[in-house]
Amino acid sequence: MLQILALSHHATRILEIGTLAGYSTIWLARALPQNGKLITLEANPKHAEVARANLNQAGLEDTVEIRVGAALDTLPQLAAEGQAPFDLVFIDADKVNTAGYFAWALKLTRRGSLIITDNVVRKGGVIDATSTDENVQGIRRFNAALASEPRVTATVVQTVGSKGHDGLAIALVIAD
């Protein structure tokens, strides 16, 4: 689905927050044109090493730049370097900081960009008022930020797979 969204959006610059083994990174990078670029942020050096090997095997090492470090530290660096704007931002990192990642995604995009956030249904946990799970709480903060943000129009799409049901938030930036 990510590849289709990136292709249909004609993305040439993509930012991914949360790399893990590089699975989503590969699908997003395959959607880029020859001169396209993807920057992916990964906090865990071991995960970055695995992702780098997978990207090399996929022949995408020249398309993808992996930056290692906490995303809330590396996102300001991207802004300071003038890396923005990105056509598409995919957020799939620790859920506790998702609202913060979304705030940075808005700073690093422009009108017409897409911001896609994974794991926003949490097997229905976001509607359980008694949940004290820190990941659920993080996604609730994100959902509240998304719902109150006038610069985007958004929807949440529920997904079902081998890990149960979850979902994606897809936000279109409609104003700078």
Domains recognised in the chain with CATH numbers: 2-173 (3.40.50.150)
- Closest to 85 (Cα-Cα) out of 67, 108, 63, 116: 108
What is the rounded distance in angstroms from the CA atom of residue 12 to the CA atom of residue 44? 26
Question: 78-122, pLDDT tens digit by residue?
Answer: 999 999 999 999 999 999 999 999 999 999 999 999 999 998 887
The pTM score is: 0.95
Q: Is the pLDDT of residue 4 over 90?
A: yes
Token pair for residue 29?
Answer: 């990078």
